[in-house]
Amino acid sequence: MWPMGEVRAGQCEARGFLNEKTQRFLPCDKTIGGDIYKTTTELSIINGRPHFVVHSSKEQQSVRRYGIVLDAGSSHTSLYIYKWPAEKENDTGVVHQIEECKVKGPGISKYAQKLTEIGIYLTACMERARHVIPQSQHRDTPVYLGATAGMRLLRIENTPLADKVLTEVTKSLSSYPFNFQGARIITGQEEGAYGWITINYLLGKFTQKLRWLNLKPNRDHTQETYGALDLGGASTQITFVPQNNSIESPDNALRFRLYGKNYSVYTHSFLCYGKDQALMQKLAKDIQASIMESRPALPTDPCFHPGYTKVMNISDLYKSPCTKKFETTLQLHQFQIQGTGNYQQCQQSILQLFNNSYCPYSQCSFNGIFLPPLKGDFGKTDQHVRKEVQLPSRTPAGEFLPRSSVSA
């Protein structure tokens, strides 16, 4: 297993660095990984993308270290190569991303039925890493793989098969001359929590010194943190500090100590409500409704542009755990989507995916999930906005801060 535990109370005393290429903060969780010439390597997951954080003693010589991270999302996998100085100012170093390689093909969960192809799937990017990183540094270069919501869904559907995928990944990555540190499926809480840390660090909300990062300090001098929204392919995360730290659901509470201050954060990951899986839910629900009303299955669809057509297999639609509740016995094996491009009709169709009829708490988002009153502004970690993920309209979170990210 990948040696990085879940975020727990009091475990995150953050130090951070800026990824020079992507302008992303690289926070820490807790020490994982091994001893690289007395260098402690830590790993953080930010919106599905793992990042290195490195600490070392002052005994280091002025040499460069390297690290490899594979972000295994629901729709694709990307490999990132990082470089940092072994000798660091104040025992802290800046990690630079020097290479990105997009693995050709879908996410690794799609290889559950073709396990023997996983090695080939990863070969091109791993060979690229072999050439980019100096040979003298190979054995000291840690390699990590973090899988997100696509593999979380596979684990729900078939745990032994998900384990086999990780086993094959481990077998493949261990065959390279690097220091393989493990592969694991990260939690939705981790995705949400690190997205929240990222946004607030970049905005200077943790009172950290920013001049050496070439960032402008927060001018209003307030410590009001921003909330974070992350819409991926298979899941959606929301994380923020609620008013009066009121969190009625213990499963949604995380506690951090960042830069000498304690934070009580609400976070929830809505599995099956990423953009890809939400679409599959919508199609399955539409087919179910058409059968119940004795109508042809999906003659037209307002959520696709006019003239768009696509043939889908029924088996592909119902193989995800996200669509099982809508599964209907059909005579046909395929159906065709025909787009009409009607925004209002599309919106009404999508709204039906959100069940607001049940709430065991004082306030919920949808599907009976506790959500405290929203507070402050939110930063979005993708191209989607609050309205599209069904946040209450009464929220004061009126300002969104676009930031590029990798979908889950």
**Residues tagged in the binding site annotation:** 233-237
Q: Is 191 a catalytic residue?
A: yes
**Six-digit token pair at 380?**
């979005």
Residue 159, Cβ density class (10 Å: 0-12 exposed, 13-18 middle, ≥19 buried): exposed
DSSP 8-state class, residue 370: B
Q: Are 264 and 247 in contact (CB under 8 A)?
A: yes
**Angstrom distance (rounded) from CA 22 to CA 219:** 23
Residue 123, Cβ density class (10 Å: 0-12 exposed, 13-18 middle, ≥19 buried): middle
Q: Which residues contact 235 (CB under 8 A, 6 or more apart)?
A: 74, 148, 149, 152, 188, 191, 269, 270, 271, 272, 273, 274, 277, 408
Q: What is the CA radius of gyration of the chain?
A: 22
Q: Which residues are registered as beta bridge partners of 270?
A: 236
Of 191, 293, 327, 388, which residue is the catalytic one? 191
For the annotated binding site for ATP, the residues are: 233-237
**Angstrom distance (rounded) from CA 177 to CA 305:** 49
Spell out the alpha helix ranges (H) of 158-243.
159-174, 188-202
**Angstrom distance (rounded) from CA 282 to CA 353:** 7
**Angstrom distance (rounded) from CA 94 to CA 84:** 6
Q: Which residues are registered as beta bridge partners of 337?
A: 310
Q: Residue 131: helix, strand or coil by DSSP? A: helix
Question: Where in the sequence numbering do the catalytic residues fall?
Answer: 191
